[in-house]
Amino acid sequence: MPDAPGLELILAELNRSEAGAVIDTSFDREQAALIVDATKVIPVLKWLKETPGQEYTFLSSVHGVDYLPNTPRFAVHYEMLNRERYERLRIKALLAEPEDGSLPHIASCVELFPTAEFQEREVYDFFGIEFDGHPDMRRILMPEDYVGWPQRRDFPVGGEPVIFTKDEVASPGWWQ
Amino acid sequence: MAEGCTRLEIERQKLRVHSSLEQPKTPEDLRARQLRARDLLRGDLEGADLDAYVEERVVTSTLEKVLNTARANSIFPATFGLACCAIEMMSTVSPRYDIARFGAEAFRASPRQADLLILSGRVSIKMAPVVRRIYDQMLEPKWAISMGACSSSGGMFSNYAVVQGADKFMPVDVHVPGCPPRPEALLYGFNKLQEKIRGNPTPGWRSRYNAHGTEEWARGGPASKPSEEALEAYEKAREVLGA
């Protein structure tokens, strides 16, 4: 794990080759993260993977995040790992929700890290974030004909209402 | 035995069979029987002797009853586990709980050879078509036990991924509550299913709630028609709720 000065060093070097890509850094609970412009996430990942001295060659995880009341609403997190120094670095790519209600887009990193193929499909499945350049962009866990993005915060939890006695006492006839 | 001890004192009693096929008491008795059986086979037994011999040994019944008894006592469940309840289902086969006592120890790996589908766990909406296909592939007569809270009602998974009760997409004969049910509970549910197969299911809660005649039959049986009492109770409930 790079410490806070180490993170700033990485940022300084990164700014020399990929200027303007990094919006912010955060160092919270001993975890280093670079907050990155979503359009420039692939050059950043490539730089971290291939630059001598960095060599974060292992992509351990890709997550989708929905920060609903906040803007920009979505984010894709990339967890990078250097297996020789045992250092982890998190890249957060912030994604705004398009005004017209279409799905947010981000470039796919499958060319760089083949392991991302299934993980990006999972992010697409649950958050409806499309990865441009992904070889096979379709649902992976939910059924193919499923409608909706179930892990978004504005998605109803589902299930069926259950008439508990406590709810009936508190608000009679709530199910009607 | 000490007060509060959980162990039981067992009284040993000789098992007696109360039927005409009682065990012979003495060697001479047994010899007499053997001789009579030999006479019958030779055709030497006649008249009252023959009648007595037949009455001693023959039980009359209907073909349906015999078939149902045979079916109830040799059920072949499908090897089909869905989630954690499957662990309990597996242990019902083990010698400790021993579903073989009821003749259902042979779990078949193919639905074509199985009579009983035990839905052991939550059914996700992606799994539901698969479960339905397996159920459709089983040959008649076939039965289904919904084991545990999840497959009966969705259980703790009140969310977008899990079907809220497997009886939404396939007929279920017995629901076993529990999370997961103990193997004994599954065996009890299995015994209930056997009673149902034999044609005299116990009314259970229907006798307590005055709801005879509300049984739903998937195939075969009488058309589902609520009884007078059940209809009255239903109307009363509607009035109380003001619906």
Q: Is residue A105 part of a domain?
A: yes
Domain extent for A91: 4-170
Cβ contacts from A onto B, under 8 A: 29
Q: Is residue A176 part of a domain?
A: no
The stretch B169-194 carries a mean pLDDT of 91
Residue type, B70: A
User: In chain B, where does the domain assigned CATH 3.40.50.12280 lie?
Assistant: 71-202
How far is A56 from A48, CA to CA, in rounded Å? 6
Q: What is the dihedral of CA A164, A168, A170, A176, to 10 degrees?
A: 110
Judged by a CB distance cut-off of 8 A, whether residue B130 touches chain A is: no
Structure tokens at A64: 């989708």
Query: Which residues, 6 or more positions from A76, have their beta carbon under 8 angstroms from its beta carbon?
Result: A38, A41, A62, A63, A64, A65, A92, A93, A95, A106, A123, A129
Q: Where are the alpha helices (DSSP H) in chain A?
A: 4-17, 41-50, 116-127, 165-170
B110-137 pLDDT tens trace: 999 999 999 999 999 889 999 999 999 9
Quote the number of domains for chain A.
1
A53-70 pLDDT tens trace: 888 999 999 999 999 888
Q: pLDDT: is B117 or A16 the higher one?
A: B117
A156-176 pLDDT tens trace: 877 666 667 777 777 777 666
The CATH number assigned to the domain holding A111 equals: 3.30.460.80
Q: Is residue A67 part of a domain?
A: yes
The stretch B134-141 carries a mean pLDDT of 90
Query: Which residues, 6 or more positions from B84, have their beta carbon under 8 angstroms from its beta carbon?
Result: B121, B180
Inter-chain CB proximity B164 and A162 less than 8 Å = no
**Topology given in CATH for the domain delimited by B71-202:** Rossmann fold (3.40.50)
Inter-chain CB proximity B164 and A160 less than 8 Å = yes
pLDDT band at residue A27 using 50, 70 and 90 as cut-offs: confident
Q: Which residues of A touch B123 (CB under 8 A)?
A: none
Q: CA of B172 to nearest chain A CA: how many angstroms apart?
A: 20
Phi, psi (rounded to 5 degrees) for A62: -125, 130
* Reported ipTM exceeds the 0.85 cut: no
Q: What is the CA radius of gyration of chain A?
A: 20
A117 contacts A144 by C-beta, under 8 angstroms: no
